[in-house]
Amino acid sequence: MPRATRPSDVHRLPPATRPPADGWPPVAEEPAATAVPRRQPPRWLLVVGLLVIGLIAFNAARTARSGLPGDGVVVDVVAEDQAIAILGLYQAEADALRELQYPPNGGFDDPDRVLHRTPELTAIANRGAAAITAALRQARATGGTEPLVERYLDASDHQRLIDDLGDVAEAATAVEELESVHQAVIESSDAPLSVTWGSSLSHYRLVGDNYAAWAKALMEHRDGRDRTTQAGQARAATVRTWWERVRRLEPGSMAELHFALRALPDATIAALRGHPVAGPVLRRLDSTGTPS
């Protein structure tokens, strides 16, 4: 039988060295952690960082849009066809007006230049109207959904230019006819006034402009009243009016062409600068300061 422990046999340790209830050795308590305030970056540094990120993204997007063929940039074939179509229409209009307004043998500062070339000018105006009509029809037949391109093609200025060229051709024919009568009546008063000439003069008298004044002077001169001065003045005024109308003609809807080209991808326009047809037109637009 084990011996019972007497109270006198128990050796009590001081409280400071007394083992804890859960075992030995005693574990010293760690001091409570002191919270360290987090340091915030300066506000200007955040702003600069955002700006740098924005510039990087912008340059990446711009490079992707303006890359040249061979740089891995895919050119939209539909957009390319649309660009060629609208540039072809502009070229047809510009070529027709250049041939009419800047003939190879010089301008029309002298009315005699017009009077001596009216058949040629009539043919040029009619040929230009036909070329623009064909280019407009072809451009409208080109597929595509770019609204600004459609807006340029649907502009009424193109048809108005076609109509104006037709009117210019008709007016040149009238000048040619009146000049024939003028030469017969004023320059050679003994020449008989044919029935055809008489009916033509009566027609022009109803117009109410310089053509009518010219026709009226010729008829009165043929009736025995001297209208040499009046006929000469009306003749010069008629030719001047015709030439001023020709000089005012210009390609249709240049503002719409500007927006249509800007709406197309930059890669498409860059690729077309080497195109045999579209390239020269783009260079012409660049040199004249008009849309490119």
pLDDT tens-digit map of 191-236: 555 545 555 665 565 455 788 888 888 888 888 889 999 999 999 9
Q: What is the pLDDT of residue 69?
A: 45
pTM of the model: 0.67
Pick the more confident residue, 43 or 87.
Answer: 87
Q: What is the pLDDT of residue 64?
A: 45
Judge whether 144 lies within some domain.
yes
Judge whether 253 lies within some domain.
yes
Banded pLDDT at 118 (limits 50, 70, 90): confident
Q: What is the pLDDT of residue 113?
A: 75
Least confident of 158-172, 192-206, 214-228, 262-276: 192-206
DSSP letter assigned to residue 107: -
Q: What is the pLDDT of residue 250?
A: 93
When pLDDT is averaged across residues 33-49 and rounded to a whole number, the result is 57
Res 6 pLDDT > 80: no
Judge whether 39 lies within some domain.
no
Res 42 pLDDT > 80: no
Residue-averaged pLDDT of the chain: 76
Res 62 pLDDT > 50: no
Judge whether 114 lies within some domain.
yes
Q: How far is CA 271 from the centre of its chain?
A: 17
Q: How would you class 143 by CB atoms within 10 Å of its CB: exposed for 0-12, middle for 13-18, buried for 19 or more?
A: exposed
Q: What is the pLDDT of residue 195?
A: 44
Number of domains in the chain: 1
State which residues form the domain around 232: 77-288
Judge whether 191 lies within some domain.
yes
Pick the more confident residue, 36 or 154.
Answer: 154
Q: What is the pLDDT of residue 29?
A: 58
Judge whether 17 lies within some domain.
no
Write out the two tokens for 196: 């055809």
Judge whether 103 lies within some domain.
yes
Judge whether 204 lies within some domain.
yes
Q: How would you class 21 by CB atoms within 10 Å of its CB: exposed for 0-12, middle for 13-18, buried for 19 or more?
A: exposed
Number of H helices, E strands in the chain: 12, 0
